[in-house]
Homo-oligomer: A and B are copies of this chain.
Amino acid sequence: MGEFLSLLPPQAALETFLAAFSASLETETIPTEQSLGRVSATNIVAPHALPSFSRSTVDGYAVRAKDTHGASEGLPAFLKVVGEVQMGTQAEIPLGVGECAIIHTGGMLPADADAVVMVEQTQQASGNEIEVFKAAASGQNMLKAGEDVEADAQILAAGVTLRPAEIGGLMAMGVTTVTVTKRPTVGILSSGDEVIPPSQMIGPGQVRDINSYTLRALVEQHGGIANNYPIIPDNPDDFRNAATKALAENDVVIFTAGSSVSVRDLTAETIDNLGAPGVLVHGVNVRPGKPTILAVADGKPVIGLPGNPVSALVIANIFVTATIQKLSGLASTPLKAQIPAKLMLNLSSQSGREDWIAVKLTETPDGYIADPVFGKSNLIFTLTRAD
């Protein structure tokens, strides 16, 4: 577990780490309308077909398609209007040969009808009769029962993030509660004799705690529940006690320690002694963020982040996010949307190292231009100036 003996690339480090713990996936059942962003815990099948009856998709006339065969502008078909389908009711209108019924978009097709003619393709003739100017194909301008979903078809798989569309689909089927995985809890430990809570005035040599709050926000952004703990003084006993408590109370523990070598060593030692198997990865080939620690203690993931606020956010974005996703039971890695942009200068990187660089984007007629916002990884405002 020596620091930096071998630096793993971020992707390999992530795979090693994620393979070393499993998701316990506790679940809870909540109202579907409050399930935005949550992850489904079970497969759900359709309790009935959708639509549950054949519906018109236009305003017009429900017809027997064969009664309109051969109809044209020059030689319209004449049909007798024998009723009007009322919205939201059973369409109990028997249609004989040459008969049709007025129907509105969304209306239920009478049992004898197999197509709908749009009102624009008809004209009122004498009395109860209409002229149809175009032949209708069977199934035209209608949704058949079960065309969206058949009864017993799977409408939601386990491990899916609920978006507005999924919520709508469940509501359409009358599924008003849904079983989702519990949000993973993430304990955030900050340390450093020089670190004080943001509400305090800073004295000489002191800095305010930033990481507890950026990490809290990042955890919430990705569906976790963040639990912040008091800042730990730089000594082994306090480290061990705080870590043990946080590990017992959370599904994940994140350390954001002071950045000096001695405090980094203290963090690594504390994490390694927290439970088996201990530290799996110590040092990742990424800039910023090299001194990252990935560990598992008694089955729970533990992450030691660099102390510098920019490094901590970059690394948390890779490892904390993926940890929350795994513990949420997400079946697949979410798609990562991108903004393609042109970099206007050359940036050098060390061979094998992954570099994360904050940029400011400017829209031009030829697409986005990316201007790097340079800054040391200690400078939080480097990130606020970037997109």
Which of B85, B214, B217, B380 contacts A148, CB < 8 Å? B380
Which of B174, B194, B381 contacts A208, CB < 8 Å? B174
Which of B164, B202, B213, B220 contacts A32, CB < 8 Å? B213
- Contact digits for A264-304, partner B, Cβ 8 Å, 1 yes 0 no: 00000000000000000000000000000000000000000
Asked if A201 and B221 make an inter-chain contact with CB atoms under 8 angstroms apart, the answer reads: no
Give min CB distance, A333 to chain B, whole Å: 9
Q: A166-B384, A199-B176, A214-B167 are in contact. Are A335 and B340 (CB under 8 A)?
A: no
Tell me whether A108 is interfacial, beta carbon within 8 Å: yes
Tell me whether A224 is interfacial, beta carbon within 8 Å: no
- Contact digits for A52-72, partner B, Cβ 8 Å, 1 yes 0 no: 110101010000000000000
Q: A57-B376, A192-B88, A378-B143 are in contact. Are A168 and B260 (CB under 8 A)?
A: no
Q: A201-B174, A207-B172, A381-B50 are in contact. Are A340 and B339 (CB under 8 A)?
A: no
Tell me whether A187 is interfacial, beta carbon within 8 Å: no
23 contacts between A and B (CB under 8 A): A36-B220, A50-B381, A87-B194, A87-B234, A88-B196, A104-B260, A104-B262, A106-B307, A108-B205, A143-B376, A148-B378, A164-B221, A165-B380, A165-B386, A167-B214, A168-B211, A168-B213, A168-B309, A171-B210, A172-B198, A174-B198, A174-B201, A176-B199
Most buried by B among A86, A164, A173, A361: A164
Tell me whether A349 is interfacial, beta carbon within 8 Å: no
A301-326 residues at the B interface, CB under 8 angstroms = 307, 309, 313
Tell me whether A200 is interfacial, beta carbon within 8 Å: yes
Asked if A165 and B313 make an inter-chain contact with CB atoms under 8 angstroms apart, the answer reads: yes
Closest residue of chain B to A204, judged by CB?
A: B90
Interface of A is mostly: loop
Asked if A192 and B260 make an inter-chain contact with CB atoms under 8 angstroms apart, the answer reads: no
Q: How far is the CA of A57 from the CA of B89 in the complex (A)?
A: 74
Tell me whether A125 is interfacial, beta carbon within 8 Å: no
Tell me whether A227 is interfacial, beta carbon within 8 Å: no
Most buried by B among A210, A217, A375: A217
Chain B residues with Cβ under 8 A from A131's Cβ? none
A359-387 residues at the B interface, CB under 8 angstroms = 361, 375-376, 378-384, 386-387
Q: A87-B194, A338-B338 are in contact. Are A380 and B205 (CB under 8 A)?
A: no
A146-177 residues at the B interface, CB under 8 angstroms = 147-149, 155-156, 163-169, 171-176
Chain B residues with Cβ under 8 A from A211's Cβ? 168
With contacts A107-B205, A164-B218, A337-B338 known, what are 12 further pairs, Cβ within 8 A? A32-B198, A52-B202, A104-B262, A106-B194, A106-B307, A148-B378, A148-B381, A163-B384, A173-B208, A174-B198, A174-B202, A338-B338
Asked if B169 and A380 make an inter-chain contact with CB atoms under 8 angstroms apart, the answer reads: yes
A7-61 residues at the B interface, CB under 8 angstroms = 32-33, 36-37, 48, 50-53, 55, 57, 59
